[in-house]
Amino acid sequence: MVKIARWNDDGGTQSGFVDGHNCYALPAGRTVNSLLEAGLAEALALAGKTIGSAAPVPLADVQLIAPLAPATIRDFVAFEEHVEGVRKSIDGVAGVVPEWYEAPTFYFTNPHTVTGTGEVVGIPAGCDDLDFETEVAAVVGRVPGSDGGNLTAEKAHQHIFGYTVLNDWSARDLQRREMKVSLGPCKGKDFANTLGPWIVTADEFEDLHDAEGFLPISMAVEVNGEAIGQDLLSNMGWPFAELVAYASQDSLVKPGDVLGSGTCGRGCLAELRGRNGSKTPPPLKTGDVVRMTVEGIGTIENTVGPRREAATRVPARTRPRNRVASAAASGA
């Protein structure tokens, strides 16, 4: 199994491969993102050379960080069960809106606030309802001769370089306010996403796909050692190849792009509250430990930090609806 990672060791950041209990750094000047630019075949060849020649560093002696610096992050909402539960949590209505079935839906989130396993994730200012979302993410790599635009599902499958675990941290109270404006989410989501612990290359999963292209691998989440939810990635409404293809329509997917599956069934607190009909389980609090494990990929774990105490909301000023500027306003 080829696992591609980044880690901090002896005051510096390294990129390379994890094999067994050791890390093997890439040659100078190479990074995870340069592997994505080179494509999967070249990355696999370099893995064999690097693991056979680089000095091993014990995995236990390093701190893993997010396995790449994403170019973009698109996060889909591809699990019907999750949509059903969250809708009931928000407005008490059962079922899924018909529009969900018509095509995949995603939003862009913040590539600059990505964290790695082991990091402390603070509660954002104004949030009293912190949640997690248990996901798998596909990482895009280069395919020779393709610009990444208007891909078929078959071609899009070739652009999937590998997979990693994604925790889409969510400030539910901020998110609810934002989405009443029929836009967003924005500040309810962009404060943190955790990726890790590494990227497992796509070739490791080729024999696991079912006839429709889905991956029947287990996804599970626990808080403070207590199991919260479990699902199969194959319960997505669309396989990853179709999500990548859809993202590329009249657009582009490029090396370093990350595409999240969306939350699996029973993979977050908000969905479970909708099913329970009450605010149980409660929101995350400082000191809670969230642990997500995906079969064939690995485990990420983060501790919830303190809330940043600050006032960040700025109310709109009441304005007239004049169509012509007054003389005073125009400086005349």
Give the 3-state secondary structure of residue 51.
helix
Spatial CB neighbours of 323, under 8 Å, sequence gap ≥ 6? none
pLDDT tens digits for 42-82? 999 999 999 999 999 999 999 999 999 999 999 999 999 99
**143, two tokens:** 């395919």
What's the pLDDT at 94? 81
What's the pLDDT at 92? 75
What's the pLDDT at 278? 86
pLDDT at residue 330 tops 70:
no
Spatial CB neighbours of 116, under 8 Å, sequence gap ≥ 6? 6, 63, 64, 65, 66, 67, 194, 195, 196, 197, 300
What's the pLDDT at 332? 64
Looking only at the bridges linking them, the beta strands covering 134-140 and 193-201 are unpaired
More confident site: 199 or 180: 199
What's the pLDDT at 32? 98
pLDDT at residue 326 tops 90:
no
Classify residue 192 as exposed, middle or buried by CB count within 10 Å of its CB (0-12, 13-18, 19+).
Answer: buried
What's the pLDDT at 86? 87
Spatial CB neighbours of 41, under 8 Å, sequence gap ≥ 6? none
What's the pLDDT at 88? 83
User: E strands along 33-93, which residues?
Assistant: 57-58, 63-65, 73-76
Question: Residue 295 half-sphere exposure, CB side, CA atoms within 13 Å?
Answer: 13
In this predicted structure, which of 18-22, 75-79, 231-235, 319-323 has the lowest mean pLDDT?
Answer: 319-323
> Mean pLDDT in the chain?
96
Residue 195 CA to residue 259 CA, distance in Å, equals 11
Which structural domains are found in the chain, ordered by start? 3-65 (no CATH), 73-307 (3.90.850.10)
In this predicted structure, which of 174-178, 232-236, 261-265, 287-291 has the lowest mean pLDDT?
Answer: 174-178
Instruction: Please report, rounded to a whole number, the percentage of residues in the chain having pLDDT higher than 70.
Output: 98
Mean pLDDT of 219-227: 98
- pLDDT class for 87, splitting at 50, 70, 90? confident
Q: What's phi and psi for 38, nearest 5 deg?
A: -75, -30
What's the pLDDT at 42? 97
Give the 3-state secondary structure of residue 242.
helix
CA angle 193, 209, 134 (to 5 degrees): 20
Q: What's phi and psi for 208, nearest 5 deg?
A: -95, -20
| 145 to 63, 109, 112, 159: CA distances (angstroms) | 37, 28, 29, 11
Instruction: Give the DSSP H or E segment for 49.
Output: helix 40-53
pLDDT tens digits for 166-198? 999 999 999 999 999 999 899 999 999 999 999
pLDDT at residue 328 tops 90:
no
Residue 66 CA to residue 194 CA, distance in Å, equals 7
What's the pLDDT at 184? 87
Residue 203 CA to residue 3 CA, distance in Å, equals 11
Residue 60 CA to residue 217 CA, distance in Å, equals 26
Residue 284 identity (one-letter amino acid): L
Give the 3-state secondary structure of residue 227.
strand
What's the pLDDT at 82? 95
pLDDT at residue 329 tops 70:
no
pLDDT at residue 89 tops 90:
no
